[in-house]
Amino acid sequence: MSEAEDTKEQGPAPRIETVRCIIEDSQGKILLLQKAKDSKAKGLFEFPGGKIDSIAGDSSTYAEQLKAVVKEIEEETGIDISRCSPQKSDEFTYQFTAGNHLHERMVHLFFVRLPIVNNEVSINSTLNPAGLSEDKHTHFNWVTKADLLRMRAEGKLSGNSQHFETILKGSSQHNNPLNPRP
- DSSP assignment of 7-23, as one string? HHTT-SPPEEEEEEEEE
Report if residue 78 sits inside a domain: yes
Report if residue 181 sits inside a domain: no
Q: Give the pLDDT of residue 8.
A: 47
Report if residue 182 sits inside a domain: no
Query: What's the farthest any 2 CA atoms get from each other in the chain?
Result: 57
**pTM for the full predicted model:** 0.77
DSSP assignments along 110-124, one per residue:
EEEE----GGG---S
Among residues 113, 16, 115, the alpha carbon closest in space to that of 68 is found at 16
Cβ density class 133-147: b for 16+ within 10 Å, e for less? eebbbeebebbebeb
Please name the residues in contact with 145: beta carbons below 8 A apart, sequence gap of 6 or more: 28, 30, 168, 178, 179
* Number of domains comprising the chain: 1
* pLDDT one-digit tens code per residue, 88-123: 988 988 887 777 888 888 999 999 988 765 557 766
Report if residue 170 sits inside a domain: yes
**Domain span at residue 29?**
3-174
Report if residue 28 sits inside a domain: yes
* pLDDT one-digit tens code per residue, 16-48: 999 999 998 888 889 999 988 877 778 899 999
Report if residue 33 sits inside a domain: yes
